[in-house]
Chains A and B, each alone.
Chain A
């Protein structure tokens, strides 16, 4: 799995951080998403897919 972000669209809802805190964080200055691990291990994949599905601004793209 490889993750890419379109962070310009991020509205800092923070749901990705709640769902997959080992993969996503929010930057201190404005809460915009930061990728901690662009190629997370298998045990994170379900959480990452869930975060991508829930993201209100469709920022997270998951590549198989």
Chain B
């Protein structure tokens, strides 16, 4: 697909001085041209949807395929969409998607995650203890708390040695970067594949009482899935399990440090934290290059005919600021009554598998930070904080704090 006059690429930069807002161009498109076209680096193009209703319609319609091997799926310039045979279930359609996803859904269901809450609290408390001992020194909240909590939790759940976290954090950083060259990203993908291959081989010999161990015993040994498919589960859960929540923790902490009224309200009424987390998810919408789909039939969306084989990028960050759904959408309102209607976890059958876990991690970490560090504040001005405009998952690379 090429056009005679190329449309603009996907907007990624937040407005100047407003690092918490989605790119201004998305807001303009949502009002004036909610279904538009963007150019991709290889000269092809894809549809871009920016309105809440259209995005729910697209993500809720399985004729829009998630299969990265279908011709027309938007891959160029996007991260995390390797076009390989051994791709995880999020890059597949029903019935394969349903069959594979249901092998792990029980691990992340609400009651299992609620049972983990005391352990998540213990991990958070220990990291906060270590932070307290460093009072008066330079403390990076990302390094000390935002990354380690979800990393420790997902390592524990999967049965991955936490000592390996430096390896998978480095590789994940490369895989999710927009600015590294494609060949470097491919090298990182192969390195991660080799690491996971060795990990799964070790667990096949000695499967533990953890997600990967259970997949090996219950699914691989019965012939339901292969060694490589276990490794694909590991890659997906490891990457999705720490990078996303870590960035939500960093951004949420920063916005609450800058909004003393909301922070004080949550300190006074901790029961409001559940709703506040939904609002923080809506407000920050950290997924910034998708989700993406490819049409498998000719489908009309909002008066535009999307033909079979054409790619679609949906901007969930824009949907979550849609004024027709969220009044005064650019304002963070920790008591917003319909905040949970956000599509920060996506929508449709691919909606985030780990959302219950992400919610509990955010509730625990934000609640604990507010309680234990009531005077927490950024140690540098906002313009000195390195925001992740170069990554497909938005957030802060580092967040220097003091208290």
A residues near B (Cβ < 8 Å) are: 9, 11-15, 17-19, 26, 28-32, 50, 53-54, 56-58
Residues A14 and B355 in contact in the complex (CB < 8 Å), given A28-B106, A29-B106, A56-B60: yes
Stretch at the interface among B261-269, B312-320, B345-353, B393-401: B345-353
Q: For the complex, count residues of B whose C-beta is within 8 A of A.
A: 25
Do the beta carbons of B106 and A14 come within 8 Å of each other? no
Q: In the complex the two chains form, is B106's CB within 8 Å of A56's CB?
A: no
Residue contact A30 to B60, C-beta cutoff 8 Å: no
Within 8 A of A (CB), among B305-350: 340-341, 345-350
With a cutoff of 8 Å between Cβ atoms, the chain A residues found around residue B106 in the complex are: 12, 26, 28-31
Determine the distance from Cα of A53 to Cα of B353 in the docked complex, in whole angstroms. Answer: 19
Nearest chain B CB to A38 CB, angstrom units: 20
Nearest opposing residue in chain A for B108, CB measure = A31
Contact A31 B109 (CB under 8 A): yes
A32 and B347 contact, Cβ closer than 8 Å, known pairs A17-B110, A53-B341, A54-B341 = no
A11 contact from B111, B340, B350, Cβ within 8 A:
B350
Residue among A14, A26, A53, A56 making CB contact with B346, cutoff 8 Å: A56
Task: Identify A56's interface contact among B102, B105, B349, CB under 8 A.
Answer: B349
Chain B residues, CB < 8 A from A29: 106
Does A11 contact B356, Cβ atoms closer than 8 Å?
Answer: no
Give the chain B neighbours of A30 by CB distance below 8 A.
102, 105-106
Q: A11-B351, A13-B355, A56-B349 are in contact. Are A26 and B341 (CB under 8 A)?
A: no
A16 to chain B, nearest CB (A): 9
